[in-house]
Amino acid sequence: MPTSHQLGFRILPAPPRLPAALVERFRGLASANLADAMGRNHFMDPEIRQRSGLSLCGLALTVYARPGDNLMVHKALQLVQPGDIVVVNAGDNRNGAVFGGMMCEVAVAAKAGGIIVDGAIRDVSDIQALRFPAYSRTVSIGSCDKDGPGEINVPISCGGTVVMPGDIVVGDADGIAVVPHDHAAEVIELVAKVMEYEKKRIAEIRGGNPWFPAIDATLKAKGIIE
C-alpha cells in the first residue's frame, strides 16, 4: 500500500511481528507482575482506566492523532490484524472522543483485540455490550473531526510511557503494562520468576510465617528498632 512520508501525516509499515506463540504466553498475566519484572517500569499511569471490564493482550498498532481528530484511528481499524491493540495518543484532548459505539462495531468486525486511548472515548454502554476491551483516560460525549493530520505505526507516548509499534500491551483491572518488542522473550522469563517468588511467599504466609523478614532488617539497618 502506498504510504505518505510527510512528517506529521504518515502511515508507516508495521514492524516484523513477534511470534504468535510468544505473544500468547503473556495472555492472562497480571499487569502488576509484568511491571515488577520490568524493574517497576514500562506501565501506563493509573488514569488510563478499564471501561468495559475486560482484559486485553496483543501487539500495539500505534496512532498519533491531532487533538480533536480521529481520521487516523479510523484508518488504523482498516489496518489492524486480528488480536492487535490500537493504542492512541489523542494529543492531550480529553473532550473529543476518538472512539465510540459505531467504531467499536468496526473494531469487532476487524477482530481487533482492544483499544487504549490517552484521551476520550464514548458510548461506553455500547462498547460493554459488544464485549470489547477498551481503556481510556476519560469519557466524553464530544465527537471529533475526520480530517487529520496524524500518524500510524510511529513511537507514541500513552499514559506517560513509550509505546512502539509491535510492543506487547497487557491490560487488566489494575492497569496496562507495555512490554518492549525487543525484550519480550526476556520479560516472559523474568515474570515467571516473579510469579514463582509470589507462590513461594504465599505458601510461607499460609504455613504460619506471615512476616516479611526484610522489613525488620531494613528498620534495624536504619536504627529504628534494635
Task: Convert the pLDDT of each residue in 123-182 to its tens digit.
Answer: 999 999 999 999 999 999 999 999 999 999 999 999 999 999 999 999 999 999 999 999
- CATH code of residue 102: 3.50.30.40
Q: pLDDT-derived band of residue 2, with 50, 70 and 90 as boundaries?
A: very low
Distance CA(167)–CA(182), nearest Å, equals 8
Percent of the chain residues topping a pLDDT of 90 = 96
pLDDT reported for residue 213:
87
| Of residues 74, 122, 86, the one with CA closest to residue 14 | 86
pLDDT reported for residue 4:
53
Mean pLDDT of the chain: 96
Domain that holds residue 94: 5-182
- Residue 219 in any domain: the answer is no
Number of domains making up the chain: 1
pLDDT reported for residue 61:
98
pLDDT at residue 78 is higher than 80? yes
**Residue 139 near residue 52, CB atoms below 8 Å:** no
pLDDT at residue 3 is higher than 60? no
- Residue 29 in any domain: the answer is yes
In angstroms, what CA-CA distances link 192 with 2, 57, 94, 171, 198? 42, 17, 37, 18, 10
Angle between helices 71-79 and 101-109 (to 10 degrees): 20
What is the mean predicted confidence (pLDDT) over 62-70?
98
Q: Which three cell numbers stand for residue 196?
A: 514463582
- Residue 71 in any domain: the answer is yes
